[in-house]
Structure 1
Amino acid sequence: MWTEKQKNGKFKYVEQYEDYLTGKQKRVSVTLNKNTASARKTALETLTHMIEERQTGHQKESDLTLGNLIEKYLDFQKLSVKKSSYNSTYYLCNSILNIFDGDIMVSRITANFLKETLIRTGKPNSYLNNIRSRINAIFRWGYENDYIADISFLGKFKPFKDTMRREKLEDKFLESDELQKLLSGFKSKKWELLTKFLSLSGLRIGEAIALNTQDIDFAKHVIHINKRIFPAKKSIDAPKTISSNRDVYMQPELEKACRDILLFTKQESVFKGYRTKLFVCNTHGDYVSYIVYNNALKRTAERVLGFEVTPHVLRHTHASLLLANGMTLDAISRRLGHEDSVITKQIYLHVTQKLKEQEEEQIKNIHIVG
């Protein structure tokens, strides 16, 4: 086996063998992200398996279980994607194995079997569609890597009709008065401060929780965004995209909110007896739990506003308020760390329509002549 480095930085592992049917020399290859001992071992196992299959025909699927397939898929994903993406995949695959018996033979799986089994869980169709997408990805990967001979049945494994009410765009962000009402409704000062910070900065919740005090640069009036936290395992990873790695300018209002959080954390650390380098932390000086904060935000919003609010709603709220105050789409997209401005444009259309309606309402009450 030898290795060829690709132009995109990945590594192609190649093995040569003699086809017993033709006597000709042939090659098999697999491309991985790394060139480490572990990657080479995985590549060798994969190539050996591919050669065996090509010498004897496709692997008998009666020998391949769903659990085996998912295990192979995860091994490959671990070497091919970022840690945070792998963690998401790992938990989703575990969810699949909690629904389906891992000993089920892949050759006996049909579209109807998949649909009926998922429906019997009683889970919302939005959740089932998430599971369906991952199952499709696993089986397509298995086909592309010669573990499965036929995946034509996936064409009949259609998405579930999502009967849940689609969230309207206007429900995805708050008006200024609603935000003020929400902030005044918190019983916890910490959650009030964090909510204000998210609304004034537009940061993703994973970016905010991962911040250290040194990331708050008062000298340059910016917040350095160079990492995020994966909530399930509290593992730190690089930002979501290249454009997510950015500096967010601290306007005076945001700068004051940052100072308020630092003061609160300092006072709490003295009272609770902890030390921390985190910008915002729990009562032990460790990372804030996304679930705890999300639940507090949800309960408070339901109590004072009458509907749920998520941390991402605060991010959209930030964008909508900036748009209403005349900032350009490109400037807001850069601040939010978006790769494109599609979401920003959607919010823009709604905000401009609302402003237009307000202007028309004002004109109705104006008498110019007589």
Structure 2
Amino acid sequence: MASIKSYTNANGEKLYKFQLYAGTDAQTGKPIKTTRRGFTTKKKATLEASRLELEIAQGGIKEENNIKFEDVYKQWYQAYINTVRESTFARTAGMFKNHILVEFGNKRIRTIKINDVQKAVNKWFKIAPATFTKWYHYTSMVFDYAIKEGYIENSGNANPCKLVSIPKKQEEQGDKFANFWNKQQLIQFFNCIDANKELEKFTLFRVLAFAGLRRGECLALTWDDVDFANGTIRINKTLTQGIKGKQIVQAPKTKKGRRTILLDTSTLNYLKRWRTQQKQRYLMLGFNTFKNSQLIFATVHNTHKCLNTPAKWLHKIIKENGLTKITVHGFRHTHASALFASGASIKEVQERLGHEDVQTTMNVYTHVTDQQNKDAVDKLVNYLNF
């Protein structure tokens, strides 16, 4: 039975309130009490109390879940971070902060409809047609989590993401950007760096071009990764970005990423020269670089170089010498191109590049051979000449 009492509010008005027993908490076993206030007459308070008592008797007070999308995301994220690497969940957090929560963060998740998601997806497609699907898939994962937790009624169409139309990027006319150099272009690039004056820079790009390493793999190398006796280099870690953009070293993304690569004699010699010069240079800076765990490519503070440093060096050399533009990752494609041109099999290239899936290697192979086919046709036309 509800207990109805009068009280005076801040304005001096006499109002009525009541409190009644609403059952027992299923988890704690403690009694649940509910309070209602603000009634202008005792009769109104009594009528509302009677209605609630009847509702409780028929199965309990039904309250709508008003949890917001952002709160569900935070719960989902705490479980998600235990399933992926730090660099991955750091990038994911950025996607939510910059794009997903902007659209849905302050909305009650049960009120978000198909049209709301469709508008967001259309907007994302215009902003980032090449990557927007990642934002869409992560949004869908939060809705799936909300359904499992009971924040949304589990009906056939409970997840609005599953019912939107995904825009498709139309193929652009013309040739795609060829992110690699041929042999002549690579030689031209290295001719632009004086190995005697900029040995570290020369050696870094030499390793990228002749070992096919990823940028993070190269910047994480330590001298104990190089076996001069057997002419190999061991890849077992990578430099990447973690939470709040902080650079971290972590294991390679896949098992195939851990690999041992044979190096050519010239590249090994440049590494030997750089090691000798590094010891001398860093000793003057006050660092002991004789330990095997010493970074091969380090800052003047003997810490990891910024991930953007190779790109800054490359851009400057390309701009000053009018070279064909490629990215740092283009050295990896250049390496693959040279391997295929020299007759290496797809399996051999896959192992050397550390691709987990042979399809990734095939994609590079198709891109490279298309360019080689074009060169072959040009040679044919020049030969026939009519």
Q: TM above 0.5, one fold?
A: yes
Aligned residues: 312
2:187 equivalent to 1:183:
no
Aligned counterpart, 1:347: 364
Contact 1:99–1:118 (CA under 8 A) maintained in structure 2: no
Q: In the TM superposition, what is the alpha-carbon distance from 1:180 to its structure 2 partner?
A: 2.7
Q: In the TM superposition, what is the alpha-carbon distance from 1:279 to its structure 2 partner?
A: 1.2
User: Structure 2-normalised TM-score?
Assistant: 0.68
Aligned counterpart, 1:135: 139
Aligned counterpart, 1:174: 181
Contact 1:204–1:315 (CA under 8 A) maintained in structure 2: yes
Secondary structure of the 1:125 match is: coil
Taking the aligned partners of 2:70 and 2:133, their CA distance within structure 1 comes to 20
Q: Match for 1:171: what amino acid?
A: A
- Aligned partner of 2:86 among 66, 83, 87: 83
2:77 equivalent to 1:67:
no
Q: In the TM superposition, what is the alpha-carbon distance from 1:141 to its structure 2 partner?
A: 3.7
Judged with a 3 Å threshold, the aligned counterparts in structure 2 of structure 1 residues 145 and 191 are, in CA distance, closer, same or farther, namely farther
Taking the aligned partners of 1:186 and 1:159, their CA distance within structure 2 comes to 47
Taking the aligned partners of 1:116 and 1:248, their CA distance within structure 2 comes to 48
Contact 1:65–1:104 (CA under 8 A) maintained in structure 2: yes
2:216 equivalent to 1:206:
yes
Secondary structure of the 1:230 match is: strand
Taking the aligned partners of 1:272 and 1:111, their CA distance within structure 2 comes to 61
- Aligned partner of 1:107 among 101, 107, 110: 110
Q: Match for 1:310: what amino acid?
A: T
Deviations 1:11-48 (A, max 9, x none): xxxxxxxxx9xxxxxxxxxxxxxxxxxxxxxxxxxxxx
Q: In the TM superposition, what is the alpha-carbon distance from 1:323 to its structure 2 partner?
A: 0.8
2:99 equivalent to 1:92:
no
Aligned counterpart, 2:328: 311
Q: In the TM superposition, what is the alpha-carbon distance from 1:334 to its structure 2 partner?
A: 0.4
Q: In the TM superposition, what is the alpha-carbon distance from 1:307 to its structure 2 partner?
A: 5.5
Q: In the TM superposition, what is the alpha-carbon distance from 1:218 to its structure 2 partner?
A: 0.9
Aligned counterpart, 1:24: none
Taking the aligned partners of 1:169 and 1:257, their CA distance within structure 2 comes to 34
Deviations 1:165-201 (A, max 9, x none): 5995661222122223333446993444322211111
Structure having the higher Rg: 2
Aligned counterpart, 2:296: 279
Taking the aligned partners of 2:203 and 2:300, their CA distance within structure 1 comes to 15
Aligned counterpart, 1:256: 269
Taking the aligned partners of 2:101 and 2:107, their CA distance within structure 1 comes to 13
User: Structure 1-normalised TM-score?
Assistant: 0.71
- Aligned partner of 2:164 among 145, 157, 171: 157
Contact 1:207–1:225 (CA under 8 A) maintained in structure 2: yes
Secondary structure of the 1:126 match is: coil
Secondary structure of the 2:82 match is: helix
Contact 2:235–2:260 (CA under 8 A) maintained in structure 1: yes
Taking the aligned partners of 2:326 and 2:379, their CA distance within structure 1 comes to 30
Q: Match for 1:76: what amino acid?
A: A
Judged with a 3 Å threshold, the aligned counterparts in structure 2 of structure 1 residues 296 and 129 are, in CA distance, closer, same or farther, namely farther
Aligned counterpart, 1:240: 253
Q: In the TM superposition, what is the alpha-carbon distance from 1:215 to its structure 2 partner?
A: 0.8
Contact 1:129–1:160 (CA under 8 A) maintained in structure 2: no
Judged with a 3 Å threshold, the aligned counterparts in structure 2 of structure 1 residues 68 and 361 are, in CA distance, closer, same or farther, namely closer
Q: In the TM superposition, what is the alpha-carbon distance from 1:315 to its structure 2 partner?
A: 0.9
Taking the aligned partners of 2:63 and 2:281, their CA distance within structure 1 comes to 62
Q: RMSD of aligned C-alpha atoms? A: 3.5
Structure ranking higher in helix proportion:
1
Aligned counterpart, 1:266: 279
